[in-house]
Chain A
Amino acid sequence: MAQRTLYELLNGSETVIARQRFVYYFVGGYPITPIWTIHNIAGSGGTQTMADDGLKLLTGTSSSNNIQIDFNNKRQYDYKSSRVIGCIKRVSVDNCFIDGGFKAGYGDDNNNLAFLHIEEYSSINGIFFQTNAAKTDTGLSTDLQWHNYDIELTPASGILSVHGSISVTRTADLPGANLQPAFKILTRISAAAEGRVKYCEAMNT
């Protein structure tokens, strides 16, 4: 057999029973809605549209308006043994945050999540590893550049790598429910916040 399968390339062998995997590049002009659902979690008027540099996320225009795209709560990823990879950036200069990673549900809460959290607001300036309501500062400066993240969840820890370097391990406040890939953006003021999403990969490990 001359041709190798992508399955072999990713899993090493045809004898390996691979676990679930999802890969999505935010390219092309076609709608993402057959796969992703957008939730206006707080407020209304938030949108997702494709732009030259990936998926454009835009919140409503009132303070604390926030939106999330996800799998409409089809949670196929194990909170004790999974991995999520993505690439996101803020476009709005300040007074907002953007999250990328895993979350159970789409409520206006901090329950059962593992996010790369990029925020600029008042004294909260930085790039954080957030699990549930707790955050650890990566020490990286918040900016308007793209940031790759790789979050691995194990029974006892969550490990965040940014741009290939391990930056934060969290062992407390870890999610306790199965998860879906999710991206979220929130405005802290009465003006829309804007961000971009370029890539998402999720897998059970």
Chain B
Amino acid sequence: MQSYFDLFDRPERTVRARFIENYSNMNNGYIWAIEHSSGHSGSYSISDNIGYGAVITGQANTGAWSEVFFASGVPLKQFRQPCSCFAVTRMGCGSNLDARIGLQDETIDSTNDRHWGAWNRWNWDNASDKVIFQTAQNNSTGDTATDLTIDENTHSNKIFIGLTTSQSSIDGILKATRDAITPRTHGEAFQPRIMAESRANETNRTFVINYYEVWEN
């Protein structure tokens, strides 16, 4: 029998932290802390639909967002760079949704996307409607647009935060590399992050996640 450890790690080095979630049971809300934009509410729950996994929704109010991660208040940052995440997601509606999937050190606050991190931004409020790879370094953010037009299909997102660059691959193809305004100058640690922001006063601006894996490289 091969050990799981043999499959994912190397015995001569320290075990790298790894998180795997399949969203395939009745409840995984206990895994996540959830926050909402000020004055708003939202929801995060396991779906009752085939192939949906979990769904996250901001309140039906333009600019209202909900976000889940490992811990708010005192953040729980267990994945030190270089680290990666792999997530299978899809837009659960055809418009007015701004969703993000990736790694960030702390929850966002009234100023969105501060701190340190890297994520894919599936923003149907964007004029180009392209997936954007965003990175954050010490409260500044930078964008690189990919060539992928947003749709309602299921896609895989692989985010890598290296020591000098950050990269985004979608559906197994490298889409963006950023070496500016990335966490490259900071020995930072991160937690997984899923966010959905309503871009109109409409219900069911949902973002769907089927699989989430995070690991230290």
Chain A residues at the B interface, C-beta cutoff of 8 Å: 9-12, 18-19, 21, 23, 25, 27-31, 50-54, 83, 85, 87, 145-146, 148, 150, 161, 163-165, 198-199, 201, 203, 205
Contacting pair B10 A164 (CB below 8 A): yes
Task: Point out the residues of chain A lying under 8 angstroms from B54, CB to CB.
Answer: none
Question: Dominant SS at the B interface?
Answer: loop
Contacting pair A163 B11 (CB below 8 A): yes
Question: Given A163-B11, A163-B13, A198-B17, is A30 in contact with B3 using a C-beta cutoff of 8 Å?
Answer: no
Q: Which of A52, A85, A161 contacts B189 (CB 8 A)?
A: A52
Contacting pair B7 A9 (CB below 8 A): yes
Q: How far is the CA of A148 from the CA of B5 in the complex (A)?
A: 10
Q: How far is the CA of A201 from the CA of B8 in the complex (A)?
A: 12
Contacting pair A199 B15 (CB below 8 A): yes
B interface residue count range (under 10 / 10 to 19 / 20 to 34 / 35 or more): 20 to 34
| B1-36 interface (Cβ within 8 A of A) | 1-5, 7, 10-15, 17-19, 30-33
Task: Map CB proximity to A onto B164-194 as digits: 1 under 8 Å, 0 otherwise.
Answer: 0000000000000000000000000100000
Contacting pair A52 B78 (CB below 8 A): yes
Chain B residues at the A interface, C-beta cutoff of 8 Å: 1-5, 7, 10-15, 17-19, 30-33, 70-71, 76-79, 189, 214
Q: Which of A10, A31, A50, A146 contacts B15 (CB 8 A)?
A: A146
A26 to chain B, nearest CB (A): 8
A59 to chain B, nearest CB (A): 22
